[in-house]
Amino acid sequence: MAKTSNKSVRLFWLPFTKWQIKLILMLVALLIVFAVVIYTRIIVDELIQREQQSIKLYTDIFKRTTDPDANLEDLYVLIEKISPTLSFPIITTDENNVPIYPYEQWTLNINIDTSKTIQEQKNFLLNYINKMKSDYEPIVVTDSEGKILLKFFYTHSELIDNLEMFPIIEFFIIALFIIIGYIAFSNIRKSEESKVWVGMAKEAAHQLGTPISSLLAWIEIIKYNRDQPEKLNETLDEMQKDVERLNMIATRFSKIGSLPERKRVNISEILDNVCNYFEKRMPHLGKKIKIERNFQKNLYSDLNAELFQWVIENLLKNSAEAIESKNGRVSIELAELSRNKIVITVSDNGKGMTLKQKRQIFYPGFTTKKRGWGLGLTLSKRIIEDYHNGRIFVKESSIGKGTTFQIELDKSP
């Protein structure tokens, strides 16, 4: 297949280009990350607010212990009950930010290594306090005269740290997902391209095989009829037809992958030529198949005649091969769909297709026949939709009743 630019590379079974799919994946990933970050931030803010309310309640109880009229026993019981519900670190210090000893009694949710010296424990808590200062301002407890009695340094719980890390982890997971998806997409694309290349090679061999075999046969005939000019002339005429066929095949393949030249042509004339060509070759299939024609005259479209003929040949050939009975019918119709559209339908009374086959019929390498390479309809779809801005699809199909393909093209003024 001829080279194409990246902007026009498209998998036959996807309505988007490769770069559009990449962009869609990136946008989806960014939206997911953005949504996760916003939602996580809301949860984190709510948890921080609840923890600040808890530490405020905790310190208020300590402040009430400075009241001469307070029931200290009840307050201490209340402190003991509230303390286990607090899940974040708290260090209680004096007015000079020095941790109060014994440290285990004046701290919460901090693992102090009691095997170390008191000074080492104190240094550990002082370092912890410096970290707490960077997170939140301490809560100060004063007496009635404003003298600082205690300071409560605190920071948020480990749960909040984990939640704040969650968007980053989510981002890496999504990035990994995109990388895996891109690799899988690339492998699928390579697989599809491989199928296309193999199919193109086999299709080329198939297309070239008939005229080349005929030419070899004509050469042998010429050898045996050198002394009979009238037979030589007849043979040369047939050889010329085969050479012209070879030229047409070469022209078709050369136009796949590049933008073909289009001209205003009479659709009914092209359809007539293809039908006449096939009618002479139907007996070779061992079936009696009638081609019914119903063409509205004087309908024109801007087409590349060689490629468009190839599409109609593929549809007629598929229809003929789908007919399992000896007496078959293929109907081809041409009509004006609207003021600006032309519609061509190719119907048969063959074996039909299942719903799954209908969805896959244009995929490279897919075929419902015992023999075939599954490329004819794939190329037809590319020719109609990519090169002629039209549509080709299975209009209807039923098992045992037949199939109808429909082509829609722009009408020339």
* Token pair in block for residue 408: 């829609």
The conformation of residue 410, written as its DSSP 8-state character, comes to E
Percent of the chain with pLDDT over 90: 20
pLDDT at 369: 61
Domain ranges within the chain, ordered by starting residue: 28-161, 263-410
Can you tell me the distance from the alpha carbon of 261 to that of 45, in angstroms, rounded to the nearest whole number? 64
Amino acid at 120: E
* Token pair in block for residue 56: 């405020």
Give yes or no for residue 295 having a pLDDT over 90: yes
Give yes or no for residue 14 having a pLDDT over 50: no
Give yes or no for residue 301 having a pLDDT over 90: yes
Distance of CA 297 to the CA centre of its chain: 43
pLDDT band of 195, cuts 50, 70, 90: low
pLDDT at 370: 56
The terminus-to-terminus CA distance of the chain in angstroms comes to 33
Can you tell me the distance from the alpha carbon of 117 to that of 123, in angstroms, rounded to the nearest whole number? 10
pLDDT at 236: 76
Q: What is the DSSP string of 214-245?
A: HHHHHHHHHHHTTT-HHHHHHHHHHHHHHHHH
pLDDT digits (tens, 9 = 90+) for 113-156: 888 999 999 999 999 999 898 888 998 988 778 888 889 999 98
pLDDT at 76: 73
Is-contact 351 342, C-beta < 8 A? no
pLDDT band of 13, cuts 50, 70, 90: very low
Give yes or no for residue 282 having a pLDDT over 80: no
pLDDT band of 280, cuts 50, 70, 90: low
Over residues 222-229, the mean pLDDT reads: 71
Is-contact 407 392, C-beta < 8 A? yes
Q: Where are the alpha helices (DSSP H) in 85-157?
A: 118-135
pLDDT digits (tens, 9 = 90+) for 31-65: 877 887 788 888 888 888 888 888 888 888 877 87
pLDDT at 251: 67
pLDDT at 47: 85
Over residues 363-373, the mean pLDDT reads: 61
pLDDT at 218: 72
Give yes or no for residue 337 having a pLDDT over 80: yes
CB 342: neighbour CB atoms within 10 A?
21
Percent of the chain with pLDDT over 70: 77
pLDDT at 264: 93
Mean pLDDT score of the chain? 79
Find, among 195, 199, 309, the residue nearest to 260 by Cα.
309
pLDDT at 396: 92
pLDDT at 212: 73
Over residues 164-184, the mean pLDDT reads: 75
Amino acid at 261: E
Bridge partners for 90 per DSSP = 108, 154
Over residues 87-98, the mean pLDDT reads: 90
Q: 183: Cβ–Cβ under 8 A, 6 or more apart, which residues?
A: none
The conformation of residue 109, written as its DSSP 8-state character, comes to S
Give yes or no for residue 12 having a pLDDT over 60: no
Q: What is the DSSP string of 358-402?
A: HHHTTSTT--SSSS--S-HHHHHHIIIIIISS-EEEEEEEETTTE
Q: Which position has the higher pLDDT, 17 or 174?
A: 174
CB 94: neighbour CB atoms within 10 A?
13
pLDDT band of 188, cuts 50, 70, 90: low
Is-contact 328 349, C-beta < 8 A? yes
pLDDT at 58: 83
CB 195: neighbour CB atoms within 10 A?
19
**92, containing H or E segment:** strand 90-93
Find, among 389, 333, 383, 388, the residue nearest to 362 by Cα.
383
Assessment of whether the complete model's pTM goes beyond 0.75: no
pLDDT at 8: 38
Can you tell me the distance from the alpha carbon of 60 to that of 82, in angstroms, rounded to the nearest whole number? 12
Strands of the 148-154 sheet, one edge to the other: 107-108, 90-93, 148-154, 139-142
* Token pair in block for residue 351: 């074996």
Q: Which position has the higher pLDDT, 43 or 391?
A: 391
pLDDT at 34: 81
pLDDT at 2: 37
pLDDT-wise least confident of 66-80, 86-100, 268-282:
66-80
Is-contact 129 154, C-beta < 8 A? no
* Token pair in block for residue 194: 């491989």
Find, among 93, 125, 95, 126, the residue nearest to 110 by Cα.
125
pLDDT-wise least confident of 47-61, 197-211, 266-280, 352-366:
197-211
Q: Which fold has domain 263-410?
A: Heat Shock Protein 90 (3.30.565)
Q: Which position has the higher pLDDT, 277 or 31?
A: 31
Give yes or no for residue 411 having a pLDDT over 70: yes
pLDDT at 16: 57
Q: Which position has the higher pLDDT, 195 or 158?
A: 158
* Token pair in block for residue 365: 């390498």
CA dihedral (155, 158, 164, 165) positive or negative: positive
Q: Which position has the higher pLDDT, 160 or 245?
A: 160
* Token pair in block for residue 130: 């410096």
